Structure formats: C-alpha cells, structure tokens
Amino acid sequence: MRSKLFVPGSRPELFAKALAGEADGISIDLEDAVAEERKAEARVTVGDWLRAGPDTHGKLVIVRVNAMDTPHFEADLAAVVQPGLQVLNLPKPESAADVRAAAEAIARAERANGVAEPVQLLLNIETPRALRAAAAMAGADPRVMGLQVGLGDLFEPLGIARRETVAVQQVLFAVRMAAGEAGVAAYDGAFADVRDTEGYLAEAQLARRLGYAGKTCIHPSQVALANAAFRPSDEEIAHAHRVTQAAQQAEAAGVGAFLVDGRMIDRPFLLRARAIVDTARRLGLLPGA
C-alpha cells in the first residue's frame, strides 16, 4: 500500500470518488476529520456504506475509529466492523495490553455482525509511550498488519518542530525497527502542508529509504507523489530480477553467496530482491509478468 487517502467519515459523497482514484487504499476517518457533534451520524453512515458492499476497485478499505479512551470507540466498532472492512486503524494505543483489548473488542463486533474474515489492525504510533512500546504492540496480536507513524501528534505536544529532520529520521527508524522485529509493515503518516509538494515528496522518499511501505495522503494531490516515491525504480527492478534469476542458478549449482553486477549476494540481499520483484509484479512493472 504505497498510498492511503484519508476521507472524512462525514463526507459519504467522497467515498466512491476516492475508490475510483489512484490511491492503493482509502481510510475513512471517524476521528480527527469528524466534528464531535457529527460522530454518531458519521459512524452510522460508514457502517451502512460498508454493509452495502461498495465496489472497492481492489483497494484496501480502512476505517480509523476514535481512540479507546473515548466514549465513541465501542460504538464505532459496532457500526463499522462489517464484511466490507479490511483494516481498522487504531489511534493512540500505548501498550500491548491496549492492542489485545482492541483485538478482543473487534472479535466481539465480528461475532455480532457476522464478519467471517478477520479485520486487521493498523496501529498509530503517536505518543512517547507508544514509541517506546512499539515493538511489543506490533507483536501483541496476529491481527496487527502494520505500524503507522503520527509525527504531528507525537511532536507538537513536546514542542518538537515537525520539520526537524533529525527528529523525523530517528522516529521513522525506531518505528521501522519495531515493525521489523514483529514482521509487519511500517507506514509513514500525514504531511499537513498540502501546498508543499517538494516537502511531501522528500519525506516520502526518506521513508522509503528507511524501508517503509507507503505514506498517508490527506489530499488527492498527494497520491501521485506517494505512488512515485514508493515505486521501485526501473534500475532497481532490473537488478532485483537479475538477482532472483541468478539465485535460481546458484541454488541448482549448490552455491551459497554469488555475484550479480559485481555485488556479492547472499540471503539478506536476495530477500530484498524478491520483495522488489513482488512489488514490481503487483504493479505490472516487470517485463513479461
């Protein structure tokens, strides 16, 4: 999921338009994008939309609910844990116990609503405590499919400048390591200045260099930037394809490490090459695929 486009849960007229766009996933938001007095209305709207079985155009459908310590959490789950929901985005969890409690609450909603396919969890890392506990949270339950950085929520209360590159790099690296320990994906969060396309692209490119799978988009204009940033280059694809081809020959010959393009290749590099090839194949970028 290179790009995930936020859509306010109170704006159902935008749902189909978002699904018809170029984002790999859409995230219907019941939290920050919905005013307090409209939250009940929005959750009903989103639940009805999911039950109707919308044409998702093959996109990942995510709903961000309100945090567990709000009066909206249980009602949100009861409304939106429906057969059409694939991922529930959980804001502000702070411990493995929080994640397990959320997973149990989702399971109850699944049973109540007749949902057969388990809903996955995308956890937001947006408090100091969550950053410290990120690895434990990522491994707390099999439903967890990824960690997502929330730099605005993390930095602003602490007086850390949102554009402080050193701070951004450290948080992105820490969350990527936590996700890697649990074997789940890491996703970069929102970039609030929609007009600053260069800033968005630079941050997305940094995230990709740090092993992230994609980035949030808060405006449709950011989708193309995210898709470009997280697209393997033609050179990367060609090299990865040569590596996987050479690996087959090396395996047949009983060889461990081998050379491709003058570089030594062993298991870690082969795993990276296979991941790039898989991504390229999924995006239709691999010749002959």
Provide CB contacts within 8 A for 271, sequence distance 6+: none
Provide CB contacts within 8 A for 111, sequence distance 6+: none
What tokens does 142 get?
């099999």
Tens digit of pLDDT for each residue in 23-59?
A: 999 999 999 999 999 999 999 999 999 999 888 989 9
Strands 258-260 and 263-265: antiparallel
Q: Count other C-beta atoms under 10 Å from residue 219's C-beta.
A: 14
Tens digit of pLDDT for each residue in 174-200?
A: 999 999 999 999 999 999 999 999 999
pLDDT bin (cut points 50, 70, 90) of residue 256 is confident
Interatomic CA distance for residues 10 and 7, integer angstroms: 9
Cα 139 to chain centroid distance, Å, stands at 16
Task: Cite the residue boundaries of each domain of the chain with CATH code 3.20.20.60.
Answer: 3-229
Q: pTM score > 0.75 for this model?
A: yes
- The correct CATH number of 3-229 out of 3.20.20.60, 3.90.320.10, 3.40.50.150, 3.40.50.300 is 3.20.20.60
Question: Is 78 exposed, middle or buried, given 0-12, 13-18 or 19+ CB atoms closer than 10 A?
Answer: middle
DSSP states along 189-208: -----TT-HHHHHHHHHHHH
Of 49, 63, 58, 54, nearest to 8 (Cα)? 63
pLDDT for the residue numbered 284:
86
Interatomic CA distance for residues 24 and 213, integer angstroms: 11
pLDDT bin (cut points 50, 70, 90) of residue 234 is confident
